Amino acid sequence: MRRCLQLAANGLGRVRPNPLVGCVIVKDGHIISEGFHQEYGHNHAERNALLRNEKLGMRNEESSCAVANSSFLIQHYTLT
């Protein structure tokens, strides 16, 4: 979650009125991708992390996605 919050800080000053959001995708205990909400009206953190992973030729199946925002709302998803 710490890494999610670190990533979220990269959107500071560019995502308002949305919250700052960071996302990491983990597989077998290792971070395989990450992303953050870069600019208001653009892709959200989760989408950026998934796209980054796909560009690297990695598959998202059987991974976990952790998301945290500046309001300390934390979510966890399993990707299938």
Distance (Å, rounded) from C-alpha 9 to C-alpha 51? 20
Which amino acid is it at 41? G
Does the annotation count 46 as an active-site position? yes
Residue that is written with structure tokens 């597989």 in the block: 27
| Residue in 39, 46, 54, 62 annotated catalytic | 46
Query: Would you state the structure tokens that stand for residue 72, as one six-digit string?
Result: 């300390």
List the catalytic residues. Answer: 46
